[in-house]
Structure 1
């Protein structure tokens, strides 16, 4: 393995070895706490624009297989691990994780003290960072990191959303719409068990969705800042216009967009929630959930919006879901489809189906 370097905007330089594609990468450096599911993570469109640090100390001990992909592409800009396993167990089959990243042209670095790195992120927040393989470019890269815009300033949703409407006929006789901000395959799989589906681009006008005849709408997960001006002018406006016309739910990024559409606000978290073990209190019970977000709805902004916080994160008290006082609208900040993670909250898909059928929450 060739020498590689992880650089942070505060001047930190960490040396390791490359096990991915031989190129450089810039992104927001964030961490995830899952013990497995690395293929699902890197193909999750919500990770667009980010260099992903895996906190679990050994990554790559099982092979990657196509059926676990959450999209048709790898969306992270780089991967950071403590120790990479070059020879995965043959029990599960599949190709080595490093070969998979090389095929998708994603730089990756091993040999990093991820404990030290995660402590830094938790204390100081997510950093702009880079992975490079040329030591002579360290100072130049650090200078670029200090002056460049955060990837969160980009309209990342435009990079991952479908470009035209996709129809999926599952023979269910009940059709709903999905506003695709970067949806995971797991979400579509769960919806397909219950509905026929129309998948719309993130910037589809509300009238197009109404004219399609769908009986309800889901706004999906996605990357970046939900309050990006390009989203306020498109998705947020559409959600606001549809909110009184049909039942609605949102997952993760979709929950934030609904919050904005109803008059609330969002804010960037210090280091976000990414992993498969986040506890959420909902209706008097605690559920373990899979999460991937760096922004969240501000609970103090919801007065007068009609939205009520009915789910909270046990660890830090942040908003994990809202419902509307009068309209058939509810959301969750986590991923009920998991992929990877626990299946504690898949019942929310049934709740959405019942809401669509009855027209009320």
Structure 2
């Protein structure tokens, strides 16, 4: 893995927000593996304590239960920290359409609190999760930074607001911020449960339980599915990036394109199942096709994803079989 050769100054300390979530817990595992200190912050509203259970007694790990909506909590969490990897947020496009005020509170105000706390604590790098949803109804593929359409959901709006604040905090306050526009991340520890669960873990679990999964729409929508290891690489490389690259957002994906129905058929094959899916209505706010141009991240962050969809899905299936 290309991030295993990254060196940070001795005694470096990372703060990972949303640490008990899917991406956050994978980041902690990777950073502890490199031998650096990690403080994790989470209010456990969507994250699960079991995701970080194995790290709780690690000498380099410290867990803080707290909410990013509280500035004092953010200030304390950023104390003595060199790098912030801000993953805490509420996800899901459909849920944001039902709960716009809540998304404003958590995803915009919470992120602003974190940036302000990072600035006041003189954090070196502030890396935060954005999303491919910021491309909205822009039809052209591949998606390229700087060519965005109309936003289609409150969730997408919160991520675009984060990027605008990131720009301002870099230009006004010299805080090096890096926005990572994740494209459909999947992998170990991703939650398969609930109405808003991501499609890959949900399909895997339902097929393992001999249930027929529901595909929203016709199954011909395409996504740039991105394995978790690529996302870890992007976060850590952003911490090493030059200040010239700060104040901007970057596509983080593999740069491939998979159709949902093809993925479903592939999972059936891999799991030895022959189950016909149920087709449901198209989801409001969903983007039909998604595929990333990652050349900017490659040039500015030296991002070189090693895990294509095939490699990633094989590892994900293995993990779910063992752990669920």
TM-score (norm 1): 0.26
| Structure having the higher Rg | 1
- Structure number with the higher strand fraction is 1
- Structure number with the higher helix fraction is 2
TM-score (norm 2): 0.28
